[in-house]
Amino acid sequence: MKICDLFKRKSIFSFEVFPPKRTGSVNTIYDTVEKLKSLNPDFISVTYGAGGSENKDSTLKIASAIKNNYGIESVAHLPCINLTKSDVLKMLEDFKSAGVKNILALRGDINPNFTPKKDFKYASDLITFIRENGDFNIIAACYPEGHNESPSIIEDIRNLKRKVDAGANQLITQLFFDNSYFYSFRERAAIAGINVPIQAGIMPVVNKKQIERMVTLCRVNLPKKFLTIMQRYENNPEAMRDAGVAYAIDQIVDLIAHGVDGIHLYTMNNPDIAHRIYEAINTLLVA
């Protein structure tokens, strides 16, 4: 099934998982998927390491298993910066054979250790290429606070419109902790004529390391309320986890009340956290 059809019926609730690290067995992810299955997600997306991760073949394997063994719709992330057109053609064939119909088409982060291939400069180039070479539902990334390389949020919206015009059917945001950025972004998108569903990407922050990593990787504002909570509990892992879950639930309740098209939870492969959040919000997800 193409996921974009689901938005007409309800608020979407979905999860992101990542392939286990190089040293881990790919099978460890299936325990996570098994536990997520009981939450009846609308789909599960699987990340792909654009920086030459040695586990990149795992994305296809896991997305295929989610779809065919667990009966859950899956989305394969596909960052193009280090791929050639013939690499992508081969991957599209593999996705098709595996029954994976949904692709999150990305550029990928520029990694100083890899010289990018020249076939795809931006995600919009990949989206056009996928459209021309297969029948997939295409999802694209978006940034409520602007992408970290972008000179301005206006430029960023223009570039987002390019992705939608190229054929993206739906969008998923980068994580954010202040919903007001999301609401302003949604308005800018509507003014720019971007009319596809936008799912809010929410990450429950459950440890201090996660925050440090996020701040270096993305342009994301940490509001005072969030910082106060994190500083208060940074040396108490259990309290930090509970506070992070509570913060994410608070964000999601507010987003659903404001008519968000869907929530995409960055699970960090932690099904217990996903369970706690689901228990708190599942009755709100009705149309």
Minimum CB separation of residue 67 from ligand FAD in Å reads 17
Tokens 């989610």 -> residue:
66
Q: Select the span of 93-101, 116-124, 221-229, 270-278 touching ligand FAD (CB under 6 A).
A: 116-124
Q: Select the span of 33-41, 159-167, 178-186, 221-229 touching ligand FAD (CB under 6 A).
A: 159-167
Distance CA 60, CA 222 (A): 34
DSSP string, 235-259: T-HHHHHHHHHHHHHHHHHHHHHTT
CB closer to ligand FAD, 181 vs 240: 181
Minimum CB separation of residue 228 from ligand FAD in Å reads 26
The alpha-helical segments, DSSP class H, found in the chain are: 28-37, 57-68, 85-98, 123-132, 153-166, 179-191, 208-217, 224-233, 237-257, 271-281
Distance CA 46, CA 76 (A): 5
Q: How many Å is the Cα radius of gyration of the chain?
A: 18
Applying CB under 6 A, does 111 fall inside the site for ligand FAD?
A: no
Applying CB under 6 A, does 108 fall inside the site for ligand FAD?
A: yes
Distance CA 197, CA 172 (A): 9
Q: Select the span of 31-39, 64-72, 154-162, 188-196 touching ligand FAD (CB under 6 A).
A: 154-162
Distance CA 16, CA 262 (A): 13
Of residues 44, 106, 229, 273, which one binds ligand FAD by CB under 6 A?
Answer: 106
Q: Select the span of 153-161, 237-245, 254-262, 276-284 touching ligand FAD (CB under 6 A).
A: 153-161
Question: Contact at 8 Å (CB) between 244 and 277?
Answer: no
Distance CA 273, CA 207 (A): 12
Concerning whether 132 is annotated as a catalytic residue, the answer is no
Distance CA 56, CA 192 (A): 35
Of residues 30, 98, 117, 122, which one binds ligand FAD by CB under 6 A?
Answer: 122
The alpha carbon torsion through 249, 2, 140, 89 (nearest 10 deg) reads 140
Applying CB under 6 A, does 163 fall inside the site for ligand FAD?
A: yes
Binding characters for ligand FAD, 20-59, by CB under 6 A (x = yes): ---------------------------xx-x---------
Applying CB under 6 A, does 123 fall inside the site for ligand FAD?
A: yes
Residues that bind ligand FAD (CB under 6 A): 47-48, 50, 77, 79, 104, 106-109, 122-124, 141, 147, 149-150, 155-156, 159, 162-163, 172, 174, 201
Catalytic residue positions, numbered: 16
